[in-house]
Every structure is written in C-alpha cells, then in structure tokens.
Chains A and B, each alone.
Chain A
Amino acid sequence: MPFSTALPLPAAAAPAMCLLPDPAAIWLHVLSDGAIGLAYLSIPAALLVVLLRRRDLAFPWLLGLFALFILACGSTHLVHAYAAFRPMPWGEALVKAVTAAISVVVAVTLWPVLPRILALRSPAALAREVEERRNAEVRARASEARLAAFINNLAEAVFVLRIGADGSFQIESVNPAFERMLGLDAASVVDRRPEEVLPSALVAQALPRWRQAAAQGRTLDYEIGVELPAGRRSWQTVLVPMRGPDGRVERLLGSARDITATRRLQAGLVQSARLATVGTMCAGLAHEASQPLNTATLWLRRARASAEPLAAAQRTVLLRAVAVVEDQLRRAGDLVARIRGLAGDEPDGGEAFDAAVAVGAALRIAGTQYAADGIDFALHADEQPLGVRGSAGRLEQAVLQLLANARDAVVERRLAEPDAPARIDVFLRREAGRVVVEVRDSGQGIAEAARDAIFDPFFTTKPPGRGVGLGLPFAAGVARGMGGGLEAWNLATGGACFRMELAVCEAAGPAGRLAASPVAA
C-alpha cells in the first residue's frame, strides 16, 4: 500500500512542505517538530521547579530567561507541526518573530553576565573551601581547649567581671586557682554580684579599683591585703578592661597572684635590716653604758660601807642618798639588760621544746596578772605538739609581751568605749611548715602612723611611765632568733593581730595536750 494512502497527507498548501514531495518525510518533520516542541515545554517546567525550590541560585532571572527562550523555541516547533495540517503563514511568522526577539534578548543579556557567571566558584572549589574551613575550625577548637587548659591550670587566679548598664559588677567566670585561693566554688559565685559572694574585706578594697578600671578603660595594677579565715593574704592583681563593639568597657579581666609569702619575706627582711642596725647600736650602747654603771654601783657599795662609823644623823642622810642613787642605777641597769636582750640570737640553736607549753605558761601568767581587767583570754590550739628550737623562757617572755600589748590596747579602747568587747584570743597552729602564734585582741588597733615603727626599740604610743617601747622589739627579736618573724595588722572586725612565726623543729619533747579553752576571765 502506498504510503500516501495509509496516512492522510497534510495539506499540500503548507508552503514549507511543498518542497517535500515525499509524505513520509513530511510526517517525519511533523512528528519531530511535535516531539521537540513537547520536550521544549517540559524543560522550562523543570527549570521552573528548580527555580521555585532553590531560592539560593545565582542569577535566577537568567534561568527564567532561559526557560522563556526554550518555551518560545518549543512554540515555533509546535506551530510548525500544526501548520503542516492547517497552514497559517502569519501565525507561524509571528510566533517565530517573538521567539527571535526573546532569543536576541537572551543572547545579548548573556554576554555581559558571562564574566560574573565564570567567577562563580565550582562545586569542587566550594568543597575545598568547606574542607579548609572545617580544618580551621578543628584547629581553633584545639587551640581553645589548650587555652582553657592553660587558664584552668594557671597558678594565678583569673576572673571575669561583667559590667552592668548601671555600673554594677557581676562575676562571669573564674578559674580553679580563684576557687582555691578564696576557698569558694565557681558555681556559687558565677552570675552573682561580688558584694554578695566574696569576702567583704576583699570587696571593700577591690571595688574602688574595679570602678576605676571600668571608668578609665585602662589596665590597672593594684595590691590588696585581706584578712581571711585561713589567715592574712596579699594579692597583686592586674585588671584589663575588655571593650564591646561599641567601644564601651563591657568586662574586666582580672588575674591575681598570691604574694603573701613574698610580702612576708620582704617585711621580714626590712625588719631584720632595721633591727640589725638598731641592734648593733643597742648592743654597743648597752656595753658602753654598763661600764660606768658598774663602776658607779661598786663605788656606791664602798660609800655605804664607809658610812658605818658616822654619827646616826649623818649616816641616815648618807644612806638615804646612797639608796636613791642605787635605785636609779638599778633602773639604768635594768634598761641595759633589756636592751641586751633584744639581740635574741640563739647561735647554739637552743633547746627543742613544745611552743604550746611556753605559750600556755605565758597565758596563765597573763590571766592571773590581768584578772582584774575583765578581759576574756582564750587559747585555740592544735592538739599536735608544736616543736620549735630556742629558749622556752624567752618565748614565754615574748608571748607575755604580746599579751601585755594586747591587754593595753583593749583597756585603752574601753576607756573611750565602755561597752567595747574585751577579748584576747591566742591561736596556735602549724601552717605551711611553720609554727604560728597569733594574738588577736579587740582593742583599738594599730594607728596607721605607728604601723611602720611599732617594732622599733624605744617607740611607744603609751603615756610616759607606761613602758619604754622594748616589748614588741623584744618579741620580734625572739621570733627572729627562732628562725621566724613577727608581723602585725589590724583586723576587719576591729582590734589588731600579732602573728609570730617560728621555724619548726621536729625533735621536740612530749607536748602538753592543749585545746581551745578559756584560760582566765
């Protein structure tokens, strides 16, 4: 059967087809145009789906333009296929013209955009970048972990203070050294105000410095000494202001170093140097004064002996004069003996003994001596023996001097404030390889002006006739002679604390068991 009879031949009027005499070729044209047209309709639909689903595409409008271009091309093919059956020369021409216009627009638009399209990174480049960033992140995390480990293991206490809009402070974070130094748990201080959680004596000293650093926006270095339950501590702190994006100081980064031992050592050295000079002078003076005093005393005895044969009236006058001079010489001699006692060296090391026994003896004497003053004396002591080396008698005398000093301070304060507490507490303990004797009183405290001079011989704040100013220098000399030292400071609660530190001697004899107990009222 001829092909032309099997298929209805599209209209011979179709001008494009008129050059194709073979109907089979014409059908191939028609089917191909139909297929191309349908495919061209499907592609923009797919592009549209991509466009709607992926909103992050670069140049989405270009994709839309391509979709339009393909759609237009598809329409020309479909119209062409349709025209094989029903010729429509104008319709076909118009569709083609629209397609041409769109094609030209797409072609013209594409070239200027091309460099920008080429500049887009390829997926491989993107993958590489992602990988690099991931590696950088791993490195940053490792570095952060190292930094955190460093801060966590730092011997210095590190703390961060957040500054509120009203200028108040809040603790943002602290490191383990901070927790150890203050004996506080991080969880109990973080996000709290320092005034609520830190020791008040510390805050009272530190707060003005924090405010200053926050106001000036400059690094600040300061030193404070604070009385804590564990003892007196000195810290050197560096405050660094940290600014936010707007330039306002938002945080303070603080790092504090415990310089208690250094300060104590320095104070001891200064005291030693001072007392070495004064000590040399005192020893020379004691010796030189003792010679004429000695000769005068000896000759006075001769004078007294020669008074024997005199008449009663003359003898009475002479003996009275001798007694007065003898009394004055004795006074001068006692002073010389006390000055001599300041030296305090025990080159032979002295004997090993339990400090608790000597301190207990001093407390009993003071308790009896000052019984009329109505002062509460209490001893708080470790139960272990506190072995030291030196002279037990001299230590007892030294502690007695500290107790006498404390008693005078309490009595003095009570003159001004009759209702003031009247307590003297003696603490005896072993601390960091040292034996510590602390005498704390509820007295008037040490006047700021007197602070540096209280251990100097002949310095006294007492009224004339009440002590010559050799008690504390003697106590300091004894402490130094026993491998330690003496320091003093005012307590936050009022009163003063005198802390005597002595070198430990393990080979001490058996200790008298001592516990916290009132000694005398």
Chain B
Amino acid sequence: MGRRILVAEDEALAAMAIEDELLREGYEVQLAPDGEAALEAAREAMPDLLLTDLRMPRLDGVGLIRALREMAPGLPVVVMTGYAPAGGAAAFRRDGEGPVALFPKPLDMDAVLAELRRLLDG
C-alpha cells in the first residue's frame, strides 16, 4: 500500500500539478486548501508525511506543523515556500523531533520527489 501524503497548498493549480506528480510516483495523496482543512484531514487519518506551504489562509504552515507534531511528534515534514523563514529548516526543529526539509518556490520538483523518497522509503 502506498504511503499517504497530506498536501496543504492554497494555490489550486499548483496543488493539482503536485498531486499529479505524487500520484505518478505511487503515493496516496490528500489535498487541503489551507491549514485548517489539513488539520481536520489529519485528525481523521494521520498521514505518513506532510507537504505544506507556509502562507495559507485560516491556519498557516507553522501553526499546522506545530499542531500535527503534537499529535505525531515524529511526523516528517516537507515545507515549500516562497518566503523562507528566518533560520531555515532549523526554525521548525523545536516543534518536534521529526525531520524537516525546506524547498523554496519555484519548486525543483525532482529534488522534492527525491527528498520524499528518502524520507518515506529510506
């Protein structure tokens, strides 16, 4: 059975393209248009990995990561953002012990897919 990835991204067109790529890689994908929707989806079924934007309506990426890490401290997280947080990936380290990878937008999708493989299969 494929690993499940929760994608929180408010740009619908970008989310569609990402979903496409992930499905082709054989992952199960759940899309959420903002942090709040992602949190609700995770409450129903905790994903194996969170792929999230930082700037989103209702609940932003930082809040979402914190909330999910409270439920699943070891959850691996991949952040895609156009606005790199101060301190880089280290900024999320205190929110849990799971690995965090950071990718700036525009995304280098090959690099993202490689990182997903490393985190989920490695």
Task: Tell whether A pairs with B.
Answer: yes
B 78-122 to A, binary, CB cutoff 8 A, 1 in contact else 0: 001011101100110000000000001111010000000000000
**In whole angstroms, how far apart are the Cα atoms of A216 and B55 in the complex?**
65
Say yes or no for A110: interface residue by CB 8 A criterion.
Answer: no
Interface residues of A toward B: which range? 20 to 34
**In whole angstroms, how far apart are the Cα atoms of A409 and B18 in the complex?**
46
**In whole angstroms, how far apart are the Cα atoms of A329 and B107 in the complex?**
11
Main secondary structure of the interface of B (DSSP, over half): mixed
- Decide yes or no: A283 and B106 within 8 Å by CB, A291-B14, A301-B17 being known contacts: no
Say yes or no for B40: interface residue by CB 8 A criterion.
Answer: no
A 305-344 to B, binary, CB cutoff 8 A, 1 in contact else 0: 1000000000000000000000001001100110010010
Interface size on B, residues (CB 8 A): 22
A 273-301 to B, binary, CB cutoff 8 A, 1 in contact else 0: 00000000001001111110111111101
- Decide yes or no: A290 and B82 within 8 Å by CB, A295-B13, A299-B17, A347-B87 being known contacts: yes
Contact A287 B104 (CB under 8 A): no
Contact B105 A348 (CB under 8 A): no
Say yes or no for A345: interface residue by CB 8 A criterion.
Answer: yes
Say yes or no for B70: interface residue by CB 8 A criterion.
Answer: no
Shortest CB distance B5–A (Å): 15
Say yes or no for A302: interface residue by CB 8 A criterion.
Answer: yes
Contact B82 A291 (CB under 8 A): yes
- Decide yes or no: A298 and B109 within 8 Å by CB, A287-B55, A287-B83 being known contacts: yes
Residue of A nearest to B17 (CB): A298
Q: Which of A296, A301, A340, A346 contacts B104 (CB 8 A)?
A: A340
Which B residues touch A302, using CB under 8 A?
Answer: 17, 20
Residue of A nearest to B82 (CB): A290
Contact B90 A348 (CB under 8 A): yes
- Most B-side CB within 10 Å, residue of A296, A297, A345: A297
Contact B105 A301 (CB under 8 A): no
A 414-449 to B, binary, CB cutoff 8 A, 1 in contact else 0: 000000000000000000000000000000000000
Q: Which of B17, B18, B82 contacts A288 (CB 8 A)?
A: B82
Residue of A nearest to B85 (CB): A347
- Most A-side CB within 10 Å, residue of B80, B83, B106, B109: B106
Residues of B within 8 A of A (CB): 11, 13-14, 17-18, 20-21, 24, 55, 80, 82-84, 86-87, 90-91, 104-107, 109
